[in-house]
Structure 1
Amino acid sequence: ERRKYIRLNVIFPVEFQFIDPETSGSISEIKQGFTRDVGKAGICLEVNNLEDGLEQVLKEGRARLDLRLHVPLARPETKAIAKIAWHEKIKSGYPNKYLIGLSFLQIDPKDSKRIYFHATRVILTPAIIAIFFFFLISGLAYYYSAGFKSRVENIKLVEELSRLSTKKADLEKKIMEFDKEHKEIGDKIVLNEDKIEKYKARIKDLEKFATDSSTKDKLIAYLKEDKEKTKTVMKHVLYQRARFDRKVGNLNKENMYLKNRVSRLSGQRVSTEDSLKDLLSSFNPIEEKNISSMFQWIKNHQSKRTGLVTSFEGDKDLEEWGFTYDQSLACQCFTLMREQDNAKAILDFYKNKAERLEGAFANAYDSNTGKIVEYSVHSGPNVWIGIAAAQYTRKFKDEEYLSIAEDIAGWLITLQKQDKEFGLKGGPKFEWFSTEHNLDAYALFGMLYKLTEEESYLEAQYRALEWLKKNSFNRLEGRMNRGKGDATIATDTFAWAIAALGPGLLKESGMNPDQIMDFAETNCLVTVDYIRQDGETVKVTGFDFGKYEHMARGGIISTEWTNQMIVSFRIMADFYKQNSEFNKTGYYNKKADFYLSEIEKMAIVSPSRLGQGQGCLPYATQDDVDTGHGWRIAHGTRTGSTAGTAYTIFAKYNYNPLVLD
């Protein structure tokens, strides 16, 4: 209690000697002890096994102590001279133990502060560590709690989207069925009225035949010559008249029924439209939140190191792969949503970091390292990166990455000129010609001409169009072929023909865009069972990769290709709106709305670490099956796909990637 310093209970080693206060000579050997307490003006020293002679020196209290304090992490040792302030024997016998209170007489002030600071730090360190770990654990708990809460909220959000999408799709389907039946009834009424007019004309002719004087004279002559024959003729005339009268009566009754049916349908349609309007007030905010979540999912999958976006979540064989085509879609998503830095990161990789093969970009790179993981070089993915650069240039008025598109276009023109028909083959080492690639190239050349006004791009676009007219237009069946000499049905060629060429140019070229869309629905539309994450099975209607009857796997819905069709339905609606054909505008908009509602039923919550519980779309309704076009679907019906998710955003915002805004 007599101590003049703060008790800190800090221990570090001390070497000391007793010295004479008058001569400063040593009166003991060097001893060792440990600090018990440390203060600003002195220390409490614990000493074990002190000899009897030194016990007496200690009791007299005149001696001084020459100290060498070994403070951890401090160099050199700290020197001090101290006097004995008090002492206490806390253990007798062997070995004995003393506590000695020392007051510093000589010590460098810096050393004194350093000793006290270190002692304080040692004392406070456990508390600081405890506080650090408390906040760390609290932070982690908050982070995981927030993540868990966010995931729970996203699950509810996606479930609500699926529930409302199902209701919305049902109402939209009913409206389309009403419209279809209304049209069929209208056509039937018109047909019946035409028949009635024809029958009335026949009746009129029969009446004229029966009452005409010349006819009577003929009948009298027949009567004289062959009474029975005359009776037969008159009987037939009367029978025919009665038959036509009955037909007219029946048709009038049928028309009356049909008109009543139309009236009832109109009432039901109005009621259904009112229900749809009420539903949309709840649906639209939920849809917007889910679309925002899908966009965040794409952002979460962008590597900070390379700027690339991982293409698939659930396929271990494709883990961390970033397909070049998918990078274009992700980049255009960022451009569409005005996230310029994210778009720049992707384009910067292709401009400054990506390794090239055959003068162009590889089909896929590792999204974390940037190394090539698929060494094939196809024309299509390169075209799409050029399209992304062109869209970025137009949107942000920034030409930093325009050279990417121009370099790719130059490479494509070289390939184009290698073919006598100026077709763009699959790649430098491939001999097949794809309609899809040539449609993409047509779009890119057109974009570059708009951006640069270089005639070479206009000429290349013209050559691409002529090749398409000669090799891809299947006028007999009213559709597009998959490629040169390849009449396989491929859904994306129908969608991209509308998106790249436009309905107007197709009509000018002798193709009927309505027939193309109708062919796609007739041959590629499927309805399948889809098992959601919560185990619920829902019916979903969408587009297969081709004619599903040709595939042993049965029907399958691709979210990406269905969304491509949705974009094309919107393009058709806009085309007819510009031409004041509002019935067709409504027809195609209803189709687009319905199929988008169907696809939104498939929305899921990402289970991956990168996905962070955000909403997204799987690529298809089945795993690891043949598309029918030389490649297989990745694993992951319950994990996200960049292409499927990005194209859903395109469909929602009516964004056509193959045309500059």
Structure 2
Amino acid sequence: MNSTGRRVAILILGLAAFGLPAAVHAQTKDTPRSPHPQAQRLANWLVSHRGAESGLPVSHVGDGRFKDWCFTYDAAVAALAFIALDRPGEAERIIDFYITSKNARRLGGVIEAVRVVPPYDGKDWSVRTGANIWLGLASYHLFLSTTADKYLTFAAWIGDFALGLQDSDGASPTHGGIKLGPPGDAAFHGDQHFGYDAQLPGFEQIFATEATIDAFALFNLLQGQPGMGRFKSGRDRCLRWLKKVAWNRGQHRFNRGFHHEPDLAVASDVHAWGISALGVARLDAIEPGAAEQMVQFVEANCLSTVVYRSPDGREATVTGFDFVDHEALRQLKRPPLVSPEWTFQMANAYLRLSDDFEAAGDKEKASLYAHKQRHLLDQVMAMASTLDNAAGLPYASLGGVPVGHENDTPVQGSFSTIGVAYGILALTGYDPLRPPGER
């Protein structure tokens, strides 16, 4: 999963390192609109923890083994956060890096991680569809913000990369699904396999619900542009796969994916993203009431209330979403946790539901989901640590435990670029999976 698959570092970060550098200055001439004050503090943290020349965010601050690493998905969401704050110049620095840096490309796409400082060398050479598509989403929204054609061109390049990884065989049981990544180079043992282990499945063998939702969102944006009708067919195939393959009719929710047979594992993020990208009407076409049934499922099975201890010793009782369901926790042998990133995703899903029900004239449901959205924001922001007017968030409330989707969380005391960036999106109500006309 790209949202957990950023090769999570095992971070040890004291509060002393949190505010480095101490001075927080924007590095462009953009004048942002007046955002939510908490969003501004999160933005200050992003500006403080990035490559001075490249503008790329440092994904895992404080871990010497991953010093100056930036994961592509994190970069994409950070760019979207700056767009949400009406600071496109900050986003341009990030996207321009990937447009111009050819050694960040491989196997037809963009690699997972690069160093944020010269020589900007690759640090994780695997290529995953999800991270690429999010980079495409960021580039498309930057095109809307700036009208610069190069960003539309780059978004379409990534869209074509994703189209090439879609099963277009109408007779296939996985027709319309998007592969987790392209095949690897046979010259490198374990290339494009989980853990670089040739005994584990290759990315091209996995059809991921998450990547298919991501692709639907990008194709849906691109298909409206002149000369890009090919993405409409790709979008419609994604919908077919989500309905025919990913939808779990017994539990009224999405499966995680497909590998030889349906992967029945629960990933809370695909439900949040499914609601954001598809909305009530498209989900009703899968099953009447699907959106609210998904919410009921993840609230019953993935919602956790935990005591979070911040690096400065402060404690807060927080309710939010785990990466997995309660049954998986027993198999993982870990306590429940709260992920700021995945909880912020659900906050945006609640906002989508509120907007959709408001448009349909259902004031009661619109008010219900607006209340749920505000409650989640208050809960997660209680986890923020603030220093010098910059606010950071952990990757999860527990450190050094298995996520349940491939990797472990960082150790206690670390802070997360992806949590901070997604916090900005949720606090501003900016949802990149929704076309502007559906916001």
What TM-score does the superposition give when structure 2 sets the normalisation length? 0.81
Question: Which residue, out of 460, 465, 475, partners 2:239?
Answer: 465
Q: Post-superposition shift, 1:332?
A: 0.7
List per-residue Cα deviations over 1:212-249 (Å, max 9, x = no partner).
xxxxxxxxxxxxxxxxxxxxxxxxxxxxxxxxxxxxxx
Report the AA paired with residue 450 of structure 1. Answer: G
- Between the aligned partners of 2:115 and 2:273, the Cα distance in structure 1 is 28
3-state SS of paired residue (2:114): strand
Cα pair distance change 1:572/1:453, threshold 3 Å: farther
What is the distance in 1 between the residues matched to 2:102 and 2:401?
31
Q: 1:578 to 1:411 in 2, by over 3 A?
A: same
Per the TM alignment, residue 343 of structure 1 is displaced from its structure 2 partner at its CA by 1.0
- Letter aligned with residue 247 of structure 2: F
Q: Aligned partners of 2:227, 2:363: CA distance in 1, in Å?
A: 35
Instruction: Write the mapping of 1:197-596 to structure 2, written as runs, cut at 5 A.
Output: 288-355=36-103, 356-369=105-118, 370-417=120-167, 420=172, 421-429=175-183, 430=203, 431-452=205-226, 454-484=228-258, 485-511=262-288, 512-551=290-329, 552-596=333-377
How far has the Cα of 1:536 moved from its partner? 2.8
Q: Distance in 2 between matches of 1:325 and 1:401?
A: 17
Cα 1:510–1:549 shift into 2, 3 Å? closer
User: Quick one: distance in 2 between partners of 1:337 and 1:500?
Assistant: 21
Match of 1:649 in 2: 424
**Per-residue deviation at 1:318?**
2.4
Per-residue Cα deviation, 1:169-225 (whole angstroms, up to 9, x for no partner) = xxxxxxxxxxxxxxxxxxxxxxxxxxxxxxxxxxxxxxxxxxxxxxxxxxxxxxxxx
Matching residue of 1:616:
392
After superposition, the C-alpha distances for 1:133-184 in whole angstroms (9 at most, x for unaligned) are xxxxxxxxxxxxxx99x89xxxxxxxxxxxxxxxxxxxxxxxxxxxxxxxxx
Distance 1:553 1:395, change over 3 A: same
2:149 match: secondary structure? coil
- Using the TM superposition, give the Cα deviation of residue 572 of structure 1 relative to its aligned residue in structure 2, in angstroms: 0.5
- Give the aligned CA root-mean-square deviation in angstroms: 2.0
For 1:474, the aligned partner's letter is N
- Contact 2:255 2:265 (C-alpha < 8 Å) held by counterparts: yes
Question: Secondary structure, in 3 states, of the residue corresponding to 1:416?
Answer: coil
In structure 2, distance between residues paired with 1:486 and 1:395: 38
What is the distance in 1 between the residues matched to 2:155 and 2:352?
Answer: 25
> Hey, what does 1:131 align to over in structure 2?
none
* Structure 2 counterparts to residues 129-148 of structure 1, below 5 A: none
- Determine which structure has the larger helix proportion and give its number: 1
* Distance (Å, rounded) in 2 between the aligned partners of 1:616 and 1:450: 37
Deviation at 1:362, TM superposition (A): 0.4
Q: CA deviation at 1:548?
A: 3.2
Contact 1:423 1:433 in 2 (8 A): yes
Post-superposition offset of 1:304: 2.7
Instruction: Report the residue type matching 2:246 in the other structure.
Output: S
**Letter paired with 2:299:** E
Q: C-alpha displacement at 1:418, in angstroms?
A: 6.5
Match of 1:631 among 399, 407, 410: 407
Task: State the Cα distance separating 1:478 from its structure 2 match.
Answer: 0.9
Displacement after TM superposition at 1:640 (Å): 2.5
Distance 1:316 1:491 in 2: 31
User: Are 1:659 and 2:424 matched, yes or no?
Assistant: no
Counting aligned pairs with the same residue, the percent is 33
For this pair of structures, how many residues does the alignment match? Answer: 374
Offset at 1:414? 1.6
d(CA) in 2 for partners of 1:422, 1:591: 33
Give the 3-state SS of the residue equivalent to 2:319 in structure 1. Answer: strand
Assess if the C-alpha contact under 8 Å between 1:549 and 1:555 holds in 2: no
Provide the C-alpha distance between the structure 2 equivalents of 1:497 and 1:288, rounded to a whole number of angstroms.
26
**Structure having the higher Rg:** 1
Q: Which runs of 5+ in 1 are unaligned?
A: 1-146, 152-284, 607-611
Larger mean CA deviation between 520-529 and 621-630 belongs to 621-630
**Displacement, 1:300?**
2.0
- Tell me by how many angstroms 1:354 deviates: 4.1
State the Cα distance separating 1:541 from its structure 2 match.
0.6
Structure 2: unaligned runs, 5 residues or longer = 1-18, 24-33, 184-202
Q: Tell me which of the two structures has the higher relative contact order, counting C-alpha pairs closer than 8 angstroms and 6 or more residues apart.
A: 2
| 3-state secondary structure, aligned to 1:541 | strand
Instruction: String of CA shifts for 1:434-483, please: whole Å, max 9, x gaps.
Output: 10000000000011112335210101111111111111111221111101
CA separation in 1, counterparts of 2:285 and 2:341? 29
Q: What's the offset of the Cα at 1:316?
A: 3.3
Contact 1:604–1:639 (Cα < 8 Å) also in 2: no
Q: Report the CA distance between 1:417 and its aligned residue.
A: 4.5
Q: Please give the per-residue CA displacement for 1:394-445, whole angstroms capped at 9, x wherever unaligned.
A: 1222222222111111121122146641321111122111100000000000
In structure 2, distance between residues paired with 1:516 and 1:305: 43
Asked if the contact 1:566–1:592 (Cα under 8 Å) also holds between the matched residues in 2, the reply is: yes
